[in-house]
Structure 1
Amino acid sequence: MTRRLVLSHLALVTLVLICLEIPLGYVYTRAERERATNAATEEAESLADHTALSLVYGHPEELARRVDVCAERVGGRILVVDSSGKLLATSHPLSPAQRAGLARRPEISAALLGGDGADVRTSTIGGVQWLSVAVPVRHGGTLHGAVRLKVPTDAIANGVHRVWLVLGLGGLGVLTAAALASFALARWIGRPIFELEHATRTFAGGNLSTRASATTGPPEVRSLAATFNRSAALLVHLLAEQRAFAGEASHQLKTPLAALRLRLDNMEPDILPHLRGSLNAAMTETDRLGRMVEGLLALARMEETALTPERVDLDSILEDRSLAWSGLYARQGVRLDVIGKPEVTTLALPGAVEQILDNLLSNALRVAPEGSVVTVSRRVTANGAEIQVQDQGPGMSPEQRERAFDRFWRARDAPAGGTGLGLALVQRLALASGGEALLLPAPGGGLRAVIRLQRATPQRSTSRRSNLPGLPYPRRRRPRAGAGSAAGRTGKR
């Protein structure tokens, strides 16, 4: 921006200088040439009057002296001829051939014709440009001869060159001053804009405490910075209110939900047989509400903390999570297969891959028919690694897959027990880890959830543990398919 402002100002100043200096230089050049021509003409006419008097009163020696004085004064060459073209006086030597051809010279012959004005011509002799002025010599209406005066134009050219040089140096000085002033003005204007841009980029990157300086720069920029600061403060306040509400509501609901679940468990031995269905439904809804609270709490805590993706070992994580879920899968009559070996270290938020797998495995188990297979595969990609969880359930339509990552969205034919938060949490964790989450149709039916993660560079290494909320594993007395906040995909069907 600074460069563009400086260049635009310099272009404008250059245009103004061109419009002023070039006409001024041409005017001065023309004036100098006219002045030199007028001076030479006046000198020639004065000498012509003196010549006429000298010829009339018979003083030729006085004419020769006057010619030498005038030639020395003007720094040129002067000669006087009579009406027949014969040389009367000269300030410089002439060869016999030059003397014989004087009457044929264009300027002298024009003057001998008896014209009223002076004949002005320019010529170049020996690389030097000369200004030649010839005037007739008259007295009492009688033509007595002609006077020719020649002066070199070097002095005029040198003067014109000096003027152009002065104009050029003056223009260069003005451009230099304009460049310095434009640079200072551009820095004064541009620096707060750059700071505002940096603050906006930093704020968009997650540093919500960033503010722009509203004390420097033009009034418009200061007003813009103040508006940005107010907008940022308002946004931070709204986010803080949202997070506080989600966190406090989740914490406040966990205790009464746990107490309600315990009371329902204690009522089971004493409930009448025909009321057991209602009790089971109440316990199922209580579990679903508890998982929804856990999901809200997980999302709120993840938004509160700006974590940096770290190196994770997919092999060890997949082995650990498959072992944790294998018992529940076996009780449900569903086989859990883990295939592939990426042998690559990827980047992810601490604990993110574990929560992603828990949600996806919980969703897959909820819709997997008895005797089917849920396959967890991993493979190396050009940028990192890819994890896929594929089931043999009913799958999703394209419209359902498009909305599956929305919070609290559930399809009409979704199985009971889902909350609509699991896949929302999966997507947030994948994006925050620098990857992405996709839902694709599986070959032969079912759904294929794809998680792509970036490859970790060898230099990055850390062992910081996650402070994201973990997902409780199934430990209910009766087998359950849910996994804490993993209300995800089945909750969206």
Structure 2
Amino acid sequence: MTRRLLLSYLGLALLVLAGLEIPLGYVYGRGETSRTSQSVERDASMLAEVTEEDIEKGNLEALPDVVGDYAARTGGRVVVTDKQGVVLADSDPAGRTGIDLSAEPDIGRALNNQPTVTTTQDTDGNDVLAATMPGASGTTIRGTLRLTYPMAEVTARVHRIWGALALAGVCVLAAVALVAFTLARWITRPLRTLESATTQLAGGHLTHPPDATTGPPELRRLAASFTRTATRLQHLLKAQQAFASEASHQLKTPLTALRLRLENFEPYLDPRAHGSLDEAVGEVERLGRMVQGLLALARLENAATTPQPVDLDAVVADRAAMWEPLAAEQYVAIDVTGPPAGQVWAIPGALEQIIDNLVANALRVSPPSTTITLHRAPGAELHIIDQGPGMSEAERARAFDRFWRASDSHHDGTGLGLPIVRHLVDASGGTITLHAAPRTGLDARVRLRPAGSGRLRDGSGSPRSARATAPAR
């Protein structure tokens, strides 16, 4: 923002300078040309009177001195002719006398007592300002005088004034840039501190509140309001986390006692009530697992650690070996396919929990004589594919919501497994998506960052913090 403010100030200053200096330079250039033209015309008239007097008196020997002295002082060139247009004197050493110039337009008009002031080119092709005057007394023409002045002198003076205007403009722009930079820094300082505070708050902890003592009053009030809001939000989050953790802990003991009491009722109940008792015990067990899931989520949100390189192939092989006996009891096979993936970034223990939760979900819905495939794809991507009933597109979109279960679900899940998996994957710097399997079932795709691609970093450039938790099935 500082750069944009600085550019806007400089753009405005440049527009004002251009609106002032360009017309000023243009007017000065026109004025300088006009003044030079008038000066040349005046000098040509005076010299014509002087030379006409010398011609009248027959003092032709004085003409070279008159024109030479003027040319030496002004840098112009003076040519004097008689009444027939024959050159009598030329201030240019290379010029020749005795040649007839009566055929040239300006000399011809001067012989007819008509002065001429115009811009033309000399014999070298340079632009010159030429004034040709008749040397006359009344209507008697005794000669002519041509005075040429190089336009290079006029152009040089115009260029000098343009250079002075440009230098003045640069100095003004430098001063404006200095003032604008100082002002922009003063305006944006609260915004920079507010941005830093927002990043800290997004990470979970506001350690350096935004500066509310500098900058415009509106930004100071905004920084103060943000600090109050962030403080209140942190208190609410801490209270929510504490409540979830404490409530979950407090619920564990009475749930265990309730289950034992229900099981103790079994010998005293009518056999026809045993089915309802089993359902009640099942619901208590599900509630217990839900409490365990809430505890796991609370630990995820309260504990932070840094992702570390983890051998994906070793973890996949270990978890597949662990789940094979449990899957065999349901006549389901566990198959590991795909090329070796190597090391990936993950927080400690997260990869094991991710695979365990996804395999547990797949095993829960897999019919007998099917296979759960753990497929390693290029790009550090792991697929957990089952051959169960799968999910519709709408169900896959809501599958990561807490406590959500499919409306036709007949299993005893808590609706917390996939939210925990997503939290672990996000904390490890990866992504997880659900897709329909090629034939039937669900394909859960977990993509993590290869450890060989460099140290995992967050948007601020520092090593990324992530969440750790104990295993949650």
Q: Which residue of 1 aligns with 2:142?
A: 145
Query: What code does the residue aligned with 2:258 have?
Result: L
Aligned runs of 1:2-401 on 2, under 5 Å? Answer: 2-49=2-49, 60=59, 74=74, 76-78=76-78, 83-85=83-85, 90=89, 92=91, 98-115=97-114, 117=115, 119-120=117-118, 122-126=120-124, 130-139=128-137, 141-153=138-150, 154-189=152-187, 193-201=191-199, 203-204=201-202, 209=207, 211-219=209-217, 221-222=219-220, 225-226=223-224, 228-314=226-312, 317=315, 321=319, 333-340=329-336, 343=340, 344-368=342-366, 372-373=368-369, 375-388=371-384, 390=386, 392=388, 394-401=389-396
Query: What code does the residue aligned with 2:110 have?
Result: A
**Residue 408 of structure 1 contacts residue 419 of structure 1 at CA under 8 Å; is this kept in 2?**
yes
Aligned runs of 1:395-474 on 2, under 5 Å? Answer: 395-415=390-410, 417-441=412-436, 445-457=440-452, 468-471=469-472
Q: Which runs of 5+ in 1 are unaligned?
A: 472-485, 487-493
**Residue 6 of structure 2 contacts residue 177 of structure 2 at CA under 8 Å; is this kept in 1?**
yes
Deviation at 1:124, TM superposition (A): 1.1
**Residue 128 of structure 1 contacts residue 152 of structure 1 at CA under 8 Å; is this kept in 2?**
no
Deviation at 1:382, TM superposition (A): 1.4
Deviates more, 1:204-213 or 1:30-39: 204-213
Deviation at 1:201, TM superposition (A): 4.5
CA distance in structure 1 between the aligned counterparts of 2:68 and 2:330, rounded to whole angstroms = 129
Deviates more, 1:228-237 or 1:92-101: 92-101
Query: What code does the residue aligned with 1:280 have?
Result: D
Query: What code does the residue aligned with 2:254 have?
Result: P
- Cα 1:408/1:38, change in 2 over 3 Å: same
CA distance in structure 1 between the aligned counterparts of 2:291 and 2:394, rounded to whole angstroms = 27
CA distance in structure 1 between the aligned counterparts of 2:395 and 2:80, rounded to whole angstroms = 113
CA distance in structure 2 between the aligned counterparts of 1:452 and 1:126, rounded to whole angstroms = 80
**Residue 408 of structure 1 contacts residue 421 of structure 1 at CA under 8 Å; is this kept in 2?**
yes
Deviation at 1:34, TM superposition (A): 2.3
- Cα 1:309/1:77, change in 2 over 3 Å: closer
Three-state SS of the structure 2 residue aligned to 1:145 is: strand
**Residue 334 of structure 2 contacts residue 371 of structure 2 at CA under 8 Å; is this kept in 1?**
yes
Q: Which runs of 5+ in 2 are unaligned?
A: 457-466
- Cα 1:414/1:295, change in 2 over 3 Å: same
Question: TM-score, normalized by length of structure 1?
Answer: 0.75
Query: What code does the residue aligned with 1:107 have?
Result: D
CA distance in structure 2 between the aligned counterparts of 1:273 and 1:299, rounded to whole angstroms = 40
CA distance in structure 1 between the aligned counterparts of 2:68 and 2:449, rounded to whole angstroms = 99
CA distance in structure 2 between the aligned counterparts of 1:267 and 1:93, rounded to whole angstroms = 135
**Residue 130 of structure 1 contacts residue 150 of structure 1 at CA under 8 Å; is this kept in 2?**
no
Bigger radius of gyration:
1
**Residue 287 of structure 1 contacts residue 417 of structure 1 at CA under 8 Å; is this kept in 2?**
no
Three-state SS of the structure 2 residue aligned to 1:340 is: strand
Deviates more, 1:276-285 or 1:294-303: 276-285
**Residue 40 of structure 1 contacts residue 149 of structure 1 at CA under 8 Å; is this kept in 2?**
no
Deviation at 1:52, TM superposition (A): 6.4
Q: Which residue of 2 aligns with 1:474?
A: none
CA distance in structure 1 between the aligned counterparts of 2:222 and 2:379, rounded to whole angstroms = 40
CA distance in structure 1 between the aligned counterparts of 2:468 and 2:101, rounded to whole angstroms = 113
- Cα 1:375/1:357, change in 2 over 3 Å: farther
- Cα 1:288/1:145, change in 2 over 3 Å: same
CA distance in structure 2 between the aligned counterparts of 1:267 and 1:430, rounded to whole angstroms = 43
Deviation at 1:304, TM superposition (A): 1.9
**Residue 2 of structure 2 contacts residue 184 of structure 2 at CA under 8 Å; is this kept in 1?**
yes
Deviation at 1:310, TM superposition (A): 2.9
CA distance in structure 1 between the aligned counterparts of 2:289 and 2:403, rounded to whole angstroms = 12
Instruction: Please tell me the root mean square deviation across aligned C-alpha atoms, in Å.
Output: 4.2
CA distance in structure 1 between the aligned counterparts of 2:71 and 2:382, rounded to whole angstroms = 102
Query: What code does the residue aligned with 1:405 have?
Result: F
Query: What code does the residue aligned with 2:350 have?
Result: A
- Cα 1:106/1:297, change in 2 over 3 Å: same
- Cα 1:222/1:124, change in 2 over 3 Å: farther
Deviation at 1:148, TM superposition (A): 1.0
**Residue 377 of structure 2 contacts residue 383 of structure 2 at CA under 8 Å; is this kept in 1?**
no
Deviation at 1:302, TM superposition (A): 0.8
